[in-house]
Amino acid sequence: MSESTLRRMSAFKQVDVFTARPLCGNALAVMLDADGLDAAGMQRMAAWTNLSETAFVLAPTQPGASYRVRIFTPRSELPFAGHPSVGTVHALIEAGRIDPAAALVQECAAGLLPVRVTGDGAERRVFVRAPRARAVPTDAAAVHAFLRALGAQPSAERAPQALDNGPNWLICDLGSEDAVRSLRPDMAAIEAASARSGIIGISVFGRAGGRDYQLAVRAFAPADGVPEDPATGSANAAIGAYLFETGSLDSVGHAYRVSQGREIARDAFIDVRVDVHSGDVEIGGQSVTCIDGNIVL
């Protein structure tokens, strides 16, 4: 193999995020040696993997950062996304490239984000502090278009709100787990509403009666090539911020677990931690590697 070919190789992992069981979470492609690859090359690679997101690891450029990551959907780059952030840390630890006991900081387009690792081996959980969610003004017609496409009405107590923490999600409280699980949304109409409003998609949640998790969540982003996401870190971080801002955390607690993905034959769990004083939100969970090798960039 020539030197030029070697320079074009990257260590590669496909990681299932927010699960300890392969094929049950949200798949993520991680390119561990992306330095020298430009944005167009990253976008082409993300379109080729055809996963909801592909993460590209690079040398950090800011003091204090442990590593840098760029995150791409099949169609665009995201400043932040949760499952790529959690899965990238899992991949870096497994490859021996970062020390899980260290004070880790992720550099991404959304800034410097603290990372916390608990446990070891199969019990390891990675938590990433999400960027602070910002309310996005959204006109009533746009909200109505999303709700009509969803085929559901929000809880009478709390109105839907668009929040931006990297992606911008319309967050909607449907009240109960049953209301969330029974949805049959019109994906073409959601895509059209996203195109008109600039909102990446809609994420809905409802309270669960079981002991294993406190919320059921679904997230739809067909305009970005992801009709229904199996497990969504950014949307769950936005939901945590929404619960904090609306004074609704008491119904689930400041540390709660989310079930997502069962409607599309997955079974992911996302752990959410909300600081009751600052409103900062951490999202985290387990991950498992399904593919480990090298890829030609």
pLDDT score of 265: 97
For the chain (297 residues), the mean pLDDT of every run of 10, in chain order, is: 58 98 98 96 96 97 98 95 98 98 97 97 96 95 96 91 97 97 98 96 94 96 94 98 96 96 98 97 98 93
Catalytic residue numbers, as ranges: 53
User: Which residues touch 20 (CB under 8 Å, ≥6 apart)?
Assistant: 122, 286, 288
Instruction: Find out whether 25 and 19 touch, Cβ atoms under 8 Å.
Output: yes
pLDDT score of 129: 98
Q: How many CB atoms lie within 10 A of CB 148?
A: 14
pLDDT score of 155: 87
Give CA–CA dist 41/46, Å, rounded.
9
Domains in the chain (CATH in brackets) are 3-129+286-296 (3.10.310.10), 134-279 (3.10.310.10)
Instruction: Find out whether 242 and 203 touch, Cβ atoms under 8 Å.
Output: no
pLDDT score of 210: 77
As a whole number of Å, the end-to-end CA separation of the chain is: 15
Instruction: Find out whether 53 and 72 touch, Cβ atoms under 8 Å.
Output: yes
pLDDT score of 3: 44
Question: Percentage helix, strand, coil, to 5, in the chain?
Answer: 25, 35, 35
With a threshold of 0.85, does the pTM exceed it? yes
pLDDT score of 217: 98
pLDDT score of 6: 42
pLDDT score of 2: 44
pLDDT score of 156: 80
